[in-house]
A and B are shown apart, each in its own frame.
Chain A
């Protein structure tokens, strides 16, 4: 893959996790490793002067060029981006809401292969991220660890032997690690077993973050599970415990899906195809409805129903139908009502294209 040279090229390129590849990709959308790092000689971002933050931007930029994994990527300064462009980066999970506000000298560096990126001057000077498709904790850790070693060879990190990597907020001190998986658990939600499962996840010291919409409904049946603490455990320990628990959740969800298929196959297929029908023929649709309908289609793909779009299309729809992506694509700002109409068109076009692709179209 050619490295994007501009925002426009980055926008046109697909993120690696969209491909829907990797182990358990029909259930685990993506795996992320984040490392928080700061430079020793500069106050933390919120206390640093703008010229110091500019220094951090250029130091990190230079340090990336000394790494085979990172060199020749794209450095975008938030101040040079339009508000819509910044929001696109937020919707792609490349930058956080905090970084996306664009007020100070902040930036994002995206490595050529798109899996590694560095938020610069977020809460910490560096937030290094490795994002891989499917359930690939070891691979994501390998990438982040290597990139971190490469940068640490030329950057002087704030580090103490006792406390480890020093971060602006003490909740990240130590390893600075946040390992997470984004997992789709529709069967456990439908069978109302999700609370029991999530409770046991929390009991072993992991974090669960759900996507909730208005009137308390769970949106998209998507959950993010991550480690909670960063001191007293090695990176490998934290990652292994997340790996172990995620495997158990995958098995529990698989068993729940088997039961649903055995007891209510017709109802389930009906739900999947109705969802697909709505997406395929809608004329105005909200983002959250797309998220919910995509959940049903994703379940159908995992069940092996023929004629549904590939996972790649389902993943793309989740991102491409977000407000800033729509506005960037349309090249104009739109009211929510206009967006709903435009969104419906984007969804229809993507699904039509998938139907005409290899093996596409309902049978």
Chain B
């Protein structure tokens, strides 16, 4: 997140002010905190993460912005311009849909773009979503190789899995 005072450096100092039992927060960078003596409490507006992300994204040129502003996530329909306003993505698929815009942003936030942590411990059964994704890839390859009989079989399998998904509650699909 960016400093609320200078708007340039990443915010690493966070103040919480309590006034009449109401809490407000301010996030500033090290330099501004030092200049203000670390004793300056929050004064104004509540900080929204959107401001910071919007600030970072604004670093793009106008032509770039116009080009990517219209990109939409194919799964949830979130337009990239909306992410710019709110700082929130719409679903997991947005990470793929906006990958070219997000990669530099992730690098600025984290100094890296590659996950090095744990992976989900799924049960022995592949998740239905993953299974469908994998089958779609297979289908594509089968069509490219003109293996139409095999492609038809895969298509039926996808349909069956998708029909099952409709009857299972969300998130409950192992």
A interface list, Cβ under 8 A from B = 38-44, 46-47, 52, 55-56, 58-60, 62-63, 97, 123, 125, 145, 148-149, 152-166, 168-171, 173-175, 177, 194-195, 198-199, 202-203, 207-219, 228-235, 237, 287-288, 323, 336
Contact = CB atoms under 8 A, between A and B. Distances in A.
A41 B14 contact: no
A38 B42 CA distance: 32
Contact of A229 (B13, B16, B110): B110
A39 B102 CA distance: 20
A231 B95 contact: no
A354 B32 CA distance: 44
A229 B109 contact: yes
Interface stretch (B58-66, B141-149, B164-172): B164-172
A307 B136 CA distance: 71
B105 interface: yes
Given A163-B113, A212-B17, A212-B18, 8 more contacts: A145-B118, A154-B174, A162-B113, A195-B37, A208-B12, A212-B42, A214-B18, A228-B12
Contact of A162 (B115, B170, B171, B174): B115
A214 B173 contact: no
6 contacts: A44-B89, A47-B91, A125-B171, A231-B109, A287-B18, A323-B21
A168 B1 contact: no
Given A59-B170, A123-B88, A171 B1 contact: yes
Given A207-B14, A212-B15, A228-B12, A166 B129 contact: no
B19 A214 contact: yes
A224 to B, nearest CB: 8
**Counting chain A CB atoms within 10 Å of each CB, which of B88, B90, B112, B128 scores highest?**
B88
Interface string B3-33: 0000000001111111111010000001000
Interface in B100-130: 102, 105-106, 109-123, 127-130
Contacts, number: 209
A323 B114 CA distance: 44
A149 B120 CA distance: 7
**Counting chain B CB atoms within 10 Å of each CB, which of A47, A166, A208, A217 scores highest?**
A47
Contacts of B14: 207-210
Contacts of A174: 110, 115-117
Contacts of B112: 229, 231-233
Contacts of A40: 92, 127, 129, 171
Nearest to A226: B14
Q: How large is the interface on B (under 10, 10 to 19, 20 to 34, 35 or more residues)?
A: 35 or more
A215 B41 CA distance: 8
B127 A168 contact: no
A232 B171 CA distance: 27
Nearest to A164: B115
B12 A44 contact: no
Nearest to A146: B121
Interface in B41-100: 41-42, 49, 53, 76, 78, 86-92, 95-96
B173 to A, nearest CB: 5
Contact of A153 (B16, B49, B117, B174): B174
A232 B127 contact: no
Given A163-B95, A199-B34, A156 B110 contact: no
Contacts of A42: 91, 170-171
Contact of B171 (A56, A159, A165, A198): A56
Contact of A47 (B30, B90, B115, B129): B90
Contacts of B16: 209-212
A229 to B, nearest CB: 4
**Counting chain B CB atoms within 10 Å of each CB, which of A38, A97, A211, A212 scores highest?**
A212
